[in-house]
Amino acid sequence: MSTTSIAALTSLIALAFLSAPIAAVADDPHTPVPDPVANTDSPAMQKGEKLYAQMKVKEAIDQFRECTRLEPDNAKAHQRLGAVLAAHDEYETAILEELQAAKLDPKYFLPHIILGQVYADQDKYEQAVAEFKIATTLKPTSYRAHNDLGLALTHVGQLDAAIAAYKKSAELNDKDPTPHLNLGVLYAQKNDYTNAIKEENAAIELNKNVPVSYVNLGNIYADANDPEKAIDAFQTALKLSPKHPNALSGMGWMAGKKGDTKGDIEYQRKALKSDPSFEPAHRRLAEALCQSGDKKGAYAEFQAALKGNPNDVTALVQYAECLVKNGQNDDAISQYKKAIEINPNLKIAQDGLSNLNKNKKQ
């Protein structure tokens, strides 16, 4: 039994992450940064805006701290301070400043954007979802709020809600490929390859120079069993970014699909040379080495993949299959059980475990 035909296990389609730097001063990423000489702000605030616009983050932190001292009831001053603190990875203080900004002005949506981004950076996605939802309620026209909500919803497994959020962000900003990139990912996860391909092509129409668009497209075509189109997409990604680990690994994956195990191994090694921490290449290399009969090398690569991502059920299942191939059924049972602990509904692991248990009883 091979896992390579299971789309949900094999593809590695990349989400485009937060729509703007975490401490962006503008309400939305495509809105110009507020003019630092605008007369609506105090001179102290204008100075802080100018420093941040110049990416002088430490100086901006000091200046916005001075602003909050001079204007303790100014919600915008606390919001800006929280944002630049977040950009400096001072998350806990950033959270306090954004909470203060939201308290001072309950109708101000930007504190909730920054809070959501901070929580997302801390992998607290349920809290991030809650904050982004508040932001979209306070400002329904915010592209950034809807886009970041889509990302957070994806991480908590609410795919339909994430699709709706990305569709809304695409309506609000028809110039940014990010929503289409991510819609392609989500449709692919639902095995809706027609819409997945449509969305990735929409992203490419908006910007033909984003390698991840072609990587995503390659993975989608691969999952849809169209290896030739997948190869074309991966090759285009490599023209834009010759050392892109995902594209190199994708080329190896397609070589393996076509029976070229040696080519698969070569591409996976190239991917790992480009990025030694790229776990999917370890996993794909492991499977190719197992196919070639290099048991020791395969086990080492499976272990490297699982060291980087212990919850990679694809690696666990493929490791189990390789162990079975080499007669190590007890060790394979252990790997299948680990996969089922992570995903109790993983049928391929359930079936593999059931078959091994039946064989033990015979």
- pLDDT tens digit string along 68-126? 999 999 999 999 999 999 988 999 999 999 999 999 999 999 999 999 999 999 999 99
Tell me the pLDDT band of 35, cut-offs 50, 70 and 90.
very low
Instruction: Give the domains, in start order, of the chain with CATH numbers.
Output: 245-362 (1.25.40.10)
Q: Which amino acid is at 271?
A: A
Q: Which amino acid is at 119?
A: Y
Task: Give the chain's length.
Answer: 362
Tell me the pLDDT band of 140, cut-offs 50, 70 and 90.
very high
Q: How much is the pLDDT for 52?
A: 87
Q: How much is the pLDDT for 26?
A: 42
Q: How much is the pLDDT for 53?
A: 86
User: 278 phi and psi, to 5 degrees?
Assistant: -80, 90
C-alpha–C-alpha distance, residues 325 and 302, integer Å: 15
- Cα distances (angstroms) measured from residue 326 to each of 264, 290, 330: 21, 9, 11
Termini Cα distance of the chain? 20
Instruction: Give the pTM.
Output: 0.82
Q: Is the dihedral of CA 9, 12, 13, 19 positive or negative?
A: positive
Tell me the pLDDT band of 278, cut-offs 50, 70 and 90.
very high
Tell me the pLDDT band of 31, cut-offs 50, 70 and 90.
very low
Mind listing the pLDDT tens digit for each residue in 191-235? Answer: 999 999 999 999 999 999 999 999 999 999 999 999 999 999 999
C-alpha–C-alpha distance, residues 297 and 169, integer Å: 46
Give the count of alpha carbons within 13 A of 11, CB side only.
28
Q: How much is the pLDDT for 14?
A: 58
Closest to 246 measured CA to CA, from 261, 260, 234: 234
C-alpha–C-alpha distance, residues 209 and 78, integer Å: 38
Q: What percent of the chain has pLDDT over 90?
A: 82
